[in-house]
Structure 1
Amino acid sequence: MKFGLWDHVDQSHLPLAELFDKRLEYVAAADDAGFYCYHVAEHHVTPLNMVPAPSVYLGAVARVTKQIRMGPLVYLVPLYTPLRLIEEICMLDHLSHGRFDIGIGRGISPYELEHFPVNFETGREVMVEALEAIISGLSNDKLNHSGEYYSYNDTPMELRPLQQPHPPVWYGSTSDLGSEWAGETGLNFVTLGSMEKAKRCVDVYQEAYAKRGAPLTASDDFPGGTAIGAVRHLVITDSVDEAVAIGKPAYDHWYASLTKLQRNNVAGPVIAKSMYEDVGEAVENGLVLVGPPDAIAENLENQIKELGINYLTLGFYFGTLPHEQAMRSLTLFADEVMPKLSHL
């Protein structure tokens, strides 16, 4: 088992400069504690995400860490061109000394994308074609691609990635369609949602991946060469009651940010189908874990075995959660939970 961090870097009550400073301190602590990778989201025109240019933010992360891998989960690919992403990926791979991972996605929110000159309905096709061009450009001295959305003819690739042939590629999904495509393409995969929903996505992914038979790029870090993971939020304290008292206001704030687009845009709603408004329901369904380290370890061991995963992406820092509590949860997990689960 490997353990990574998941982070929306969502709006809190802190000034933005202070939020960034504290997040970098948090990631540096995760680096020291032995976490595998730091994954950040990309969203736009929403309080859910204060790093809508993830490459800029991850450039800073690269310079305050030494071991932890990092990457967007995901780049909203329709908002870029393949050439631009290739160049950013190469820069970040070198800034991090070969610790960069690529996450790709189409974007789940029509409200976000309607503020850009892109068509939400064609987002999946654009993403699939863009990935083909990106992999080609990262793997060759010249980019040649002819498709419906992009065309390149002997475009010089003066920037090359440090990792050869290219950095690992990740995809996140909560749908059968997305899970199947990730498996068919051989990508590292992360899902979220209730145990039932996450299990469904993992099963669909594994069935599709088995037919492919090999990863896009194999990694020795994961059995079979690919990561299969789930996202969970955690608040670790001495007791369940204390964790709920600390975590509920932060979760409520985070959920309000998550669903603001839905509330304010009835014409193109963003339905938070994979989450629960009530933190109690989220705990009951396994999305949020609260309490002391021993209980957290037991719960996660059961989830790992039931879901059939080899990776967990954990959110210790969300909403208005105090910085001190995020650091406390991270430290307790690294010291008292991770050693009990790493053998799985």
Structure 2
Amino acid sequence: MRIGVFLLAAGFPGRSHGEVLSATVNAAVAAERAGFDDVWFAEHHFMSYGVCPSATTLAGYVLGRTERVVVGTAVSVLSTHHPVALAEQTALLDLVSSGRFHLGVGRGGPWVDLEVFGTGLARYETAFAESLDLLLAALTGEHISADGPTYAFREVPMVPRTRGVPPVTVACTSANSVALAAERGLPMLLGMHIDDDGKRGMLDAYAAARPAAASRDHIAAVVAHVADTRAEAQRLLRAELPRWLGPGLAGYVPVDGRPRTPRDAEEYAGFLCGIHPVGTPDDCLKTMVTTVERTGVRHLILMVEGGGDLVRTEQNITRLGAEVLPRLRTWFGR
């Protein structure tokens, strides 16, 4: 088992961006102290759902503030990054951290980011596979060149060069992304917006597409909050999550004006509380064990910011580390 913390830098109302980012760094440091294996940062642009616009930059800072934990991106969005530039950043962080950096990438969405950064809708709609392959080539080769529909450039040396190949994980939210990850033999990151059955379906599709890689080290994101009673934990998250999810989800603005209906924040909060480890330490343990046994995924990353402020987040991390993680590892023999 590997258990990590997943930090969105959630922009709850009433908190400045500086306060949110400071709290995110403090939460990462607290996660190492509490015994978690890794810490993951999300990347978002132009919205309060997450106020970290560069997961690699924040990861680099936190690598310097920690000593043991692996630090990863969940995810860096390939539709708005040049894959060779992202490979350079990955190699840099891999070298200066002695191998503690883990790159997670995703396709992103058809959002206004594509317009602002000048990458265009085609980077999202048709170029993800090309971007991913170029990223992987840049991470594994001494030299890199391209002659494709999206990227075309002369051969250049890759500097710096890593000692090995840093781990890469692909966020998967659709059948196409599952097939792409399977074809490349890369592990998947499965989101907290789907339940165990949804995760199992994606894992089955991956296994069918690439049986030899079916046991890859996939990762599942879950919401986690521990309290003295289940009612207390559920009541807190049902009250706090909509304050963040409402304005946050509204920040996803399509670049081409396509219709989009944001999810109902209160309904979504109830759904998340119903399928994830939210409750007493016993409740959290039982739910995590069930997720691992149903899906086979033995690497969970816990979104711990649902309580809405720094004190609650750090308390949540501390209690999960002391009252749930040791029992979960014992349960699965680690």
Aligned-pair distance for 1:40?
1.6
AA paired with 1:63? G
The equivalent position to 1:330 in structure 2, one of 314, 317, 331, is: 317
SS of 1:261's equivalent in the other structure is coil
Q: Distance in 2 between matches of 1:262 and 1:78?
A: 15
Q: Which residue of 2 aligns with 1:170?
A: 169
CA-to-aligned-CA distance 1:27-73 (integer Å, 9 cap, x gap): 11211233222222222111112111222211211111111111222
1:9 paired to 2:22: no
Shift, 1:278, TM fit: 4.2
**Is contact 2:72-2:101 (8 Å) kept?**
yes
Counterpart position of 1:242: 232
Q: TM-score, normalised by structure 1?
A: 0.86
TM-score scaled by structure 2? 0.89
- How far does the alpha carbon of each residue in 1:89-117 deviate from its partner, in whole angstroms, 9 at most, with x for none? 12222332211111122212434423332
* Residue pair 2:113, 2:255 contacting (<8 A) in 1 also: no
Corresponding position: 1:307 with 2:295: yes
In structure 1, the partner of 2:269 is 279
Tell whether the 8 Å contact from 2:232 to 2:279 is kept in structure 1 after alignment.
yes
AA partner of residue 60 (structure 1): Y
| Distance change in 2, residues 1:266/1:145 (3 Å) | closer
Q: Once superposed, what is the RMSD of the aligned Cα atoms?
A: 2.5
Amino acid at match of 2:279: G
Is 1:31 equivalent to 2:18 in the alignment?
A: no
Query: Is this contact kept in 2: 1:229–1:312, CA < 8 A?
Result: yes
Letter paired with 1:339:
P
**Correspondent of 1:317 among 299, 302, 305:** 305
Provide structure 2 residue ranges, at least 5 long, that are not aligned to the other structure.
none
Cα distance in 2 for residues equivalent to 1:327 and 1:150: 43
Matched, 1:295 2:283: yes
Which amino acid letter does the alignment assign opposite residue 94 of structure 1? L
- Find 2:241's aligned residue among 228, 244, 251: 251
Closer/same/farther in 2, CA of residues 275 and 18 from structure 1, 3 Å limit:
closer
After superposition, what is the alpha-carbon deviation per residue over 1:229-265, rounded to whole angstroms, capped at 9, x for unaligned?
2211111010112212322232112321442135899
Give secondary structure in 2 for the equivalent of 1:230: strand
**Distance in 1 of aligned mates of 2:204 and 2:265:** 20
- Which residue is 1:199 aligned to? 200
Question: Aligned partners of 1:161 and 1:73: how far apart in 2?
Answer: 21
Q: Quick one: structure 1 residues 257 and 172, their matched pair in 2 at CA, closer, same or farther if it must change by over 3 Å? A: farther
What letter matches 1:299 in structure 2? T
Question: Which region of structure 1 is more displaced relative to structure 2, 184-193 or 110-119?
Answer: 110-119
Residue 277 of structure 1 aligns to a residue whose secondary structure is: helix
Paired position in structure 2 for 1:92: 93
Aligned residues: 328
CA shift, 1:315, in A, is 0.4
Residue 170 of structure 2 corresponds to residue 182 of structure 1: no
Distance 1:137 1:251, change over 3 A: same
**Secondary structure of the structure 1 residue equivalent to 2:68:** coil
Q: Deviations over 1:139-191 (max 9, x none)?
A: 222213322211233202231124x0x21011112222212221221112121
Q: Deviations over 1:210-229 (max 9, x none)?
A: 1xx249xxxxxxxx4x3222
SS of 1:103 mapped into structure 2: strand
Q: Structure 1's 57 and 107: CA in aligned 2 closer, same or farther, altered over 3 A? A: same
State percent identity of aligned pairs: 23
Distance 1:77 1:183, change over 3 A: same
Aligned-partner Cα distance in 2 for 1:82–1:70: 19
CA–CA distance in 1 between the matches of 2:141 and 2:253? Answer: 46
Q: Is the 8 A contact 1:111 1:270 kept in 2?
A: no
How far off is 1:301 after superposition? 0.8
Code of the residue aligned with 1:316 in structure 2: it is V
Secondary structure of the residue aligned to 1:132 is helix
Question: What's the CA shift for 1:293?
Answer: 0.2
Preserved CA contact (<8 Å) 1:93 1:161: yes
The unaligned stretches of length 5 or more in structure 1 are 216-223
C-alpha distance 273-96 of structure 1, shift in aligned 2 (>3 A): farther
Letter in structure 2 aligned against 1:85: L
Number of the residue aligned with 1:70 = 71
Native 8 Å contact 2:145 2:154 kept in 1: yes
